[in-house]
Chain A
Protein backbone atom coordinates (compact mmCIF):
# COMPACT_ATOMS: atom_id res chain seq x y z
CA UNK A 1 0.00 0.00 0.00
CA UNK A 2 2.71 2.37 1.03
CA UNK A 3 4.79 1.46 -2.02
CA UNK A 4 1.81 1.97 -4.27
CA UNK A 5 1.17 5.42 -2.82
CA UNK A 6 4.82 6.31 -3.33
CA UNK A 7 4.70 5.18 -6.95
CA UNK A 8 1.53 7.16 -7.59
CA UNK A 9 3.05 10.26 -6.03
CA UNK A 10 6.22 9.93 -8.10
CA UNK A 11 4.29 9.46 -11.31
CA UNK A 12 2.11 12.50 -10.54
CA UNK A 13 5.16 14.66 -9.93
CA UNK A 14 6.86 13.37 -13.08
CA UNK A 15 3.76 14.04 -15.14
CA UNK A 16 3.63 17.58 -13.79
CA UNK A 17 7.30 18.17 -14.62
CA UNK A 18 6.82 16.74 -18.11
CA UNK A 19 3.79 18.99 -18.69
CA UNK A 20 5.71 22.08 -17.51
CA UNK A 21 8.69 21.20 -19.72
CA UNK A 22 6.41 20.65 -22.72
CA UNK A 23 4.68 23.99 -22.14
CA UNK A 24 8.07 25.70 -21.78
CA UNK A 25 9.57 24.16 -24.90
CA UNK A 26 6.50 24.90 -27.00
CA UNK A 27 7.05 28.57 -26.16
CA UNK A 28 10.51 28.56 -27.71
CA UNK A 29 10.76 30.69 -30.82
CA UNK A 30 11.48 29.26 -34.22
CA UNK A 31 15.06 29.13 -35.37
CA UNK A 32 15.99 32.48 -36.82
CA UNK A 33 19.19 32.77 -38.76
CA UNK A 34 21.67 34.80 -36.73
CA UNK A 35 23.84 35.59 -39.70
CA UNK A 36 25.71 38.27 -37.78
CA UNK A 37 26.66 35.97 -34.94
CA UNK A 38 25.36 35.79 -31.42
CA UNK A 39 27.96 38.05 -29.82
CA UNK A 40 27.16 40.85 -32.23
CA UNK A 41 23.47 40.43 -31.45
CA UNK A 42 24.10 40.64 -27.70
CA UNK A 43 26.38 43.66 -28.04
CA UNK A 44 23.84 45.48 -30.20
CA UNK A 45 20.56 44.78 -28.48
CA UNK A 46 21.54 43.52 -25.03
CA UNK A 47 20.96 46.91 -23.46
CA UNK A 48 17.49 47.17 -24.99
CA UNK A 49 16.54 43.62 -24.08
CA UNK A 50 17.62 43.62 -20.46
CA UNK A 51 18.29 47.19 -19.37
CA UNK A 52 21.60 46.17 -17.79
CA UNK A 53 24.63 48.31 -18.56
CA UNK A 54 27.04 45.49 -17.76
CA UNK A 55 26.53 43.07 -20.63
CA UNK A 56 28.29 40.20 -18.84
CA UNK A 57 25.74 40.31 -16.05
CA UNK A 58 23.03 40.52 -18.69
CA UNK A 59 24.29 37.29 -20.24
CA UNK A 60 24.83 35.56 -16.89
CA UNK A 61 21.50 36.37 -15.28
CA UNK A 62 19.16 37.00 -18.18
CA UNK A 63 20.13 35.22 -21.40
CA UNK A 64 21.88 32.31 -19.70
CA UNK A 65 20.26 32.43 -16.25
CA UNK A 66 19.53 28.71 -16.36
CA UNK A 67 23.26 27.98 -16.58
CA UNK A 68 23.87 30.17 -13.54
CA UNK A 69 21.25 28.15 -11.68
CA UNK A 70 23.21 25.03 -12.57
CA UNK A 71 26.45 26.59 -11.32
CA UNK A 72 24.94 27.49 -7.96
CA UNK A 73 23.61 23.93 -7.75
CA UNK A 74 27.19 22.72 -8.23
CA UNK A 75 28.32 24.92 -5.33
CA UNK A 76 25.48 23.55 -3.21
CA UNK A 77 26.61 20.02 -3.99
CA UNK A 78 30.22 20.85 -3.07
CA UNK A 79 29.14 22.39 0.25
CA UNK A 80 26.98 19.38 1.07
CA UNK A 81 29.76 16.91 0.32
CA UNK A 82 32.44 18.76 2.28
CA UNK A 83 30.20 19.24 5.31
CA UNK A 84 29.20 15.57 5.18
CA UNK A 85 32.82 14.40 5.10
CA UNK A 86 34.53 16.93 7.36
CA UNK A 87 32.08 17.82 10.12
CA UNK A 88 33.06 15.94 13.24
CA UNK A 89 30.39 16.99 15.74
CA UNK A 90 32.83 18.68 18.07
CA UNK A 91 32.80 22.10 19.65
CA UNK A 92 34.74 24.71 17.72
CA UNK A 93 38.14 25.01 19.36
CA UNK A 94 40.71 27.16 17.70
CA UNK A 95 43.53 29.57 18.34
CA UNK A 96 43.39 32.68 20.44
CA UNK A 97 44.11 34.59 17.29
CA UNK A 98 46.79 36.97 16.21
CA UNK A 99 48.22 39.90 18.18
CA UNK A 100 46.36 42.95 19.41
CA UNK A 101 47.49 45.18 16.54
CA UNK A 102 46.07 42.87 13.89
CA UNK A 103 42.82 42.41 15.80
CA UNK A 104 42.29 46.14 16.26
CA UNK A 105 43.20 47.08 12.66
CA UNK A 106 40.94 44.41 11.19
CA UNK A 107 38.18 45.54 13.54
CA UNK A 108 38.40 48.91 11.82
CA UNK A 109 38.69 47.46 8.30
CA UNK A 110 36.08 44.68 8.34
CA UNK A 111 33.00 46.95 7.96
CA UNK A 112 34.56 48.48 4.86
CA UNK A 113 35.22 45.04 3.41
CA UNK A 114 31.56 44.17 4.00
CA UNK A 115 30.53 47.46 2.38
CA UNK A 116 32.68 46.67 -0.66
CA UNK A 117 31.12 43.22 -0.92
CA UNK A 118 27.59 44.61 -0.85
CA UNK A 119 28.61 47.32 -3.35
CA UNK A 120 29.92 44.71 -5.79
CA UNK A 121 26.74 42.65 -5.39
CA UNK A 122 24.18 45.41 -5.73
CA UNK A 123 25.92 47.27 -8.55
CA UNK A 124 26.37 44.09 -10.58
CA UNK A 125 24.23 45.38 -13.45
CA UNK A 126 26.05 48.74 -13.64
CA UNK A 127 29.74 48.09 -13.00
CA UNK A 128 31.97 44.99 -13.23
CA UNK A 129 31.16 42.47 -10.57
CA UNK A 130 28.08 40.57 -9.61
CA UNK A 131 26.80 37.88 -7.35
CA UNK A 132 29.70 35.45 -7.47
CA UNK A 133 32.48 37.97 -6.92
CA UNK A 134 30.69 39.89 -4.18
CA UNK A 135 29.70 36.66 -2.50
CA UNK A 136 33.31 35.55 -2.29
CA UNK A 137 34.24 38.94 -0.78
CA UNK A 138 31.54 38.38 1.86
CA UNK A 139 32.95 34.90 2.52
CA UNK A 140 36.36 36.52 3.08
CA UNK A 141 34.91 38.26 6.17
CA UNK A 142 34.11 34.90 7.73
CA UNK A 143 37.61 33.69 6.86
CA UNK A 144 39.10 36.78 8.53
CA UNK A 145 37.06 36.09 11.67
CA UNK A 146 38.23 32.48 11.75
CA UNK A 147 41.91 33.25 11.26
CA UNK A 148 42.33 36.49 13.19
CA UNK A 149 39.91 36.15 16.09
CA UNK A 150 39.72 32.36 16.24
CA UNK A 151 36.96 30.16 14.98
CA UNK A 152 35.04 30.32 18.27
CA UNK A 153 34.42 34.03 17.55
CA UNK A 154 33.17 33.13 14.09
CA UNK A 155 30.89 30.49 15.64
CA UNK A 156 29.45 32.99 18.10
CA UNK A 157 28.91 35.76 15.54
CA UNK A 158 27.66 33.79 12.57
CA UNK A 159 26.83 30.26 13.60
CA UNK A 160 26.59 27.54 10.93
CA UNK A 161 22.82 27.60 11.32
CA UNK A 162 22.75 31.26 10.28
CA UNK A 163 24.98 30.52 7.30
CA UNK A 164 22.73 27.64 6.25
CA UNK A 165 19.75 29.98 6.50
CA UNK A 166 21.51 32.55 4.26
CA UNK A 167 22.47 29.92 1.71
CA UNK A 168 19.04 28.35 1.38
CA UNK A 169 17.46 31.81 1.38
CA UNK A 170 19.62 32.88 -1.54
CA UNK A 171 18.84 29.73 -3.49
CA UNK A 172 15.12 30.12 -2.78
CA UNK A 173 15.27 33.74 -3.97
CA UNK A 174 16.77 32.57 -7.26
CA UNK A 175 14.16 29.84 -7.72
CA UNK A 176 11.31 32.12 -6.66
CA UNK A 177 12.29 34.69 -9.27
CA UNK A 178 12.37 31.89 -11.83
CA UNK A 179 8.87 30.76 -10.88
CA UNK A 180 7.68 34.37 -10.96
CA UNK A 181 9.03 34.48 -14.50
CA UNK A 182 6.82 31.51 -15.38
CA UNK A 183 3.74 33.07 -13.78
CA UNK A 184 4.12 36.60 -15.16
CA UNK A 185 6.08 36.40 -18.39
CA UNK A 186 5.58 32.82 -19.48
CA UNK A 187 9.06 31.32 -19.29
CA UNK A 188 11.36 30.12 -16.52
CA UNK A 189 13.71 32.90 -15.31
CA UNK A 190 12.35 35.38 -17.81
CA UNK A 191 13.21 38.97 -16.93
CA UNK A 192 10.32 40.54 -15.04
CA UNK A 193 8.95 43.37 -17.10
CA UNK A 194 7.25 45.40 -14.39
CA UNK A 195 10.52 45.93 -12.52
CA UNK A 196 12.30 47.75 -15.31
CA UNK A 197 13.10 51.39 -14.78
CA UNK A 198 15.33 54.03 -16.26
CA UNK A 199 18.63 52.56 -17.44
CA UNK A 200 21.61 53.35 -15.25
CA UNK A 201 19.81 53.71 -11.95
CA UNK A 202 20.36 51.35 -9.05
CA UNK A 203 16.93 49.73 -9.16
CA UNK A 204 16.51 48.88 -12.80
CA UNK A 205 17.17 46.01 -15.20
CA UNK A 206 14.19 43.92 -14.14
CA UNK A 207 14.98 40.98 -11.88
CA UNK A 208 18.76 40.99 -12.44
CA UNK A 209 19.70 42.85 -9.19
CA UNK A 210 17.53 40.55 -7.08
CA UNK A 211 19.04 37.44 -8.67
CA UNK A 212 22.45 39.01 -7.95
CA UNK A 213 21.58 39.44 -4.28
CA UNK A 214 20.33 35.87 -4.02
CA UNK A 215 23.42 34.42 -5.71
CA UNK A 216 25.69 36.62 -3.60
CA UNK A 217 24.26 35.41 -0.29
CA UNK A 218 24.23 31.82 -1.52
CA UNK A 219 27.87 31.80 -2.70
CA UNK A 220 29.17 33.73 0.30
CA UNK A 221 27.45 31.56 2.87
CA UNK A 222 28.39 28.38 1.02
CA UNK A 223 32.09 29.19 0.82
CA UNK A 224 32.09 30.33 4.46
CA UNK A 225 30.58 26.97 5.46
CA UNK A 226 33.27 25.15 3.45
CA UNK A 227 36.08 27.09 5.13
CA UNK A 228 34.59 26.77 8.60
CA UNK A 229 34.16 23.03 8.36
CA UNK A 230 37.74 22.70 7.13
CA UNK A 231 39.34 24.91 9.80
CA UNK A 232 37.47 23.56 12.85
CA UNK A 233 40.30 21.80 14.64
CA UNK A 234 43.32 22.88 12.67
CA UNK A 235 44.95 26.16 13.69
CA UNK A 236 45.44 25.30 17.34
CA UNK A 237 48.72 27.06 17.95
CA UNK A 238 48.65 30.83 18.06
CA UNK A 239 51.03 33.07 16.24
Chain B
Protein backbone atom coordinates (compact mmCIF):
# COMPACT_ATOMS: atom_id res chain seq x y z
CA UNK B 1 0.00 0.00 0.00
CA UNK B 2 2.85 2.39 0.80
CA UNK B 3 4.47 1.65 -2.57
CA UNK B 4 1.24 2.50 -4.40
CA UNK B 5 0.97 5.73 -2.45
CA UNK B 6 4.55 6.73 -3.29
CA UNK B 7 3.96 6.02 -7.00
CA UNK B 8 0.76 8.08 -6.96
CA UNK B 9 2.43 11.03 -5.23
CA UNK B 10 5.26 10.97 -7.78
CA UNK B 11 2.69 10.97 -10.60
CA UNK B 12 0.88 13.86 -8.90
CA UNK B 13 4.00 16.03 -8.77
CA UNK B 14 4.92 15.03 -12.34
CA UNK B 15 1.51 15.98 -13.77
CA UNK B 16 1.52 19.29 -11.90
CA UNK B 17 5.00 20.11 -13.24
CA UNK B 18 3.97 19.18 -16.78
CA UNK B 19 0.86 21.37 -16.53
CA UNK B 20 3.10 24.32 -15.72
CA UNK B 21 5.82 23.38 -18.20
CA UNK B 22 3.89 23.22 -21.48
CA UNK B 23 3.16 26.40 -23.36
CA UNK B 24 0.03 25.26 -25.16
CA UNK B 25 -3.11 25.65 -23.06
CA UNK B 26 -4.80 22.46 -24.27
CA UNK B 27 -2.00 20.19 -23.01
CA UNK B 28 -1.97 22.03 -19.68
CA UNK B 29 -5.69 21.42 -19.28
CA UNK B 30 -5.30 17.72 -20.05
CA UNK B 31 -2.52 17.46 -17.47
CA UNK B 32 -4.70 19.24 -14.90
CA UNK B 33 -7.38 16.64 -15.57
CA UNK B 34 -4.83 13.86 -15.01
CA UNK B 35 -3.78 15.64 -11.81
CA UNK B 36 -7.37 15.51 -10.56
CA UNK B 37 -7.67 11.81 -11.38
CA UNK B 38 -4.48 10.94 -9.49
CA UNK B 39 -5.66 13.05 -6.56
CA UNK B 40 -8.95 11.13 -6.61
CA UNK B 41 -7.06 7.84 -6.37
CA UNK B 42 -5.04 9.20 -3.44
CA UNK B 43 -8.19 10.30 -1.60
CA UNK B 44 -9.72 6.87 -2.15
CA UNK B 45 -6.54 5.26 -0.81
CA UNK B 46 -7.00 7.23 2.41
CA UNK B 47 -10.70 6.23 2.55
CA UNK B 48 -12.10 9.74 2.01
CA UNK B 49 -14.87 8.79 -0.40
CA UNK B 50 -16.81 12.07 -0.22
CA UNK B 51 -13.84 14.23 -1.12
CA UNK B 52 -12.84 11.75 -3.83
CA UNK B 53 -16.28 12.00 -5.43
CA UNK B 54 -16.19 15.79 -5.32
CA UNK B 55 -12.67 15.89 -6.76
CA UNK B 56 -13.50 13.48 -9.59
CA UNK B 57 -16.68 15.30 -10.58
CA UNK B 58 -15.45 18.87 -10.23
CA UNK B 59 -11.77 18.53 -11.05
CA UNK B 60 -11.83 16.03 -13.88
CA UNK B 61 -15.26 16.76 -15.30
CA UNK B 62 -16.45 20.29 -14.84
CA UNK B 63 -13.15 22.17 -14.74
CA UNK B 64 -12.03 20.63 -18.03
CA UNK B 65 -15.22 21.69 -19.82
CA UNK B 66 -15.13 25.23 -18.43
CA UNK B 67 -11.42 25.67 -19.26
CA UNK B 68 -12.01 24.34 -22.78
CA UNK B 69 -14.77 26.87 -23.43
CA UNK B 70 -12.58 29.60 -21.94
CA UNK B 71 -9.61 28.90 -24.22
CA UNK B 72 -11.85 28.59 -27.27
CA UNK B 73 -13.19 32.05 -26.45
CA UNK B 74 -9.65 33.35 -26.18
CA UNK B 75 -8.78 31.96 -29.61
CA UNK B 76 -11.88 33.45 -31.24
CA UNK B 77 -11.06 36.91 -29.93
CA UNK B 78 -9.23 39.50 -32.01
CA UNK B 79 -7.17 40.89 -29.20
CA UNK B 80 -3.76 39.71 -30.31
Contact surface of A with B, Cβ cutoff 8 Å? 54, 56-57, 120, 128-130, 132-133, 136-137, 139-140, 143, 147, 223, 226-227, 230-231, 233-236
Q: Count of chain B residues with Cβ under 8 Å from any Cβ of A?
A: 16
Q: Name A136's contact: one of B49, B50, B52, B61 (CB within 8 Å).
A: B61
Beyond A132-B54, A226-B66, A230-B69, 14 extra complex contacts between A and B, CB < 8 Å: A56-B50, A57-B50, A129-B50, A133-B53, A140-B61, A223-B62, A227-B69, A230-B73, A233-B76, A234-B69, A234-B72, A234-B73, A235-B69, A235-B72
CB neighbours (8 Å) of A129 from chain B are 50, 53
The 6 closest A-B pairs by CB, nearest first: A128-B49, A136-B57, A56-B50, A133-B53, A230-B69, A234-B72
6 contacts between A and B (CB under 8 A): A54-B50, A129-B50, A136-B61, A137-B57, A147-B65, A234-B73
Return A16 CB to nearest CB of chain B, in Å.
Answer: 37
A112 to B49, alpha carbons, bound, how many Å?
21
A231 engages B50 (CB within 8 Å):
no
Q: Name B50's contact: one of A130, A139, A140, A235 (CB within 8 Å).
A: A130
A130 to B57, alpha carbons, bound, how many Å?
12
B62 engages A136 (CB within 8 Å):
yes
A234 engages B76 (CB within 8 Å):
yes
Return B20 CB to nearest CB of chain A, in Å.
Answer: 24
B73 engages A140 (CB within 8 Å):
no
- State whether A143 and B65 are in contact (beta carbons under 8 Å apart), knowing that A128-B49, A128-B50 are contacts in the complex: yes
Return A162 CB to nearest CB of chain B, in Å.
Answer: 20
Q: Which residue of B lies closest to A128 (CB)?
A: B49
Q: Which of A56, A132, A133, A235 has the most CB of B within 10 A?
A: A133
CB neighbours (8 Å) of A230 from chain B are 66, 69-70, 73
* Those of B26-80 within 8 Å (CB) of chain A: 49-50, 52-54, 57-58, 61-62, 65-66, 69-70, 72-73, 76
